[in-house]
């Protein structure tokens, strides 16, 4: 197997692993954000609850960006390596 092809396939596999682990940790992220908001009674402050709610949104957004980055760069590498 070509060294470049192995590296590109490794990036795709790394993207899939990141996706699986990221979504396995997602319930923990969501529950910790909900617990922090409820126990600190920050719902009475208008902006604090909104900032607290951004945590899970940013987590999911960064997870998707990282996974898509791995898979896209790996896919482009595979395409360049196998182009005949």
Summarised one tens digit per residue, pLDDT across range 38-61 is: 676 665 666 777 777 788 899 999
Cα separation, 62 vs 81, in Å, equals 28
Query: Using CA of residue 64, residue 11, residue 26, residue 29, what is the dihedral sign?
Result: negative
Residue 70 burial (10 A CB sphere; 0-12, 13-18, 19+): buried
Query: What percent of the chain stands above pLDDT 70?
Result: 87
Residue 28 pLDDT greater than 80, yes or no: yes
3 vs 9, higher pLDDT: 9
Residue carrying structure tokens 């319930």: 27
Cα separation, 11 vs 66, in Å, equals 11
């Amino acid at each position: 197997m070509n060294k470049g092809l192995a590296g590109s396939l490794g990036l795709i596999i790394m993207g899939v692993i990141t996706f699986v682990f990221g979504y396995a940790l997602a319930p923990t992220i969501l529950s910790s954000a909900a617990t922090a908001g409820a126990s600190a009674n920050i719902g009475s402050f208008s902006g604090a609850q909104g900032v607290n709610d951004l945590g899970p949104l940013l987590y999911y957004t960064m997870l998707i960006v990282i996974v898509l980055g791995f898979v896209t760069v790996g896919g482009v590498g595979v395409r360049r390596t196998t182009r005949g």
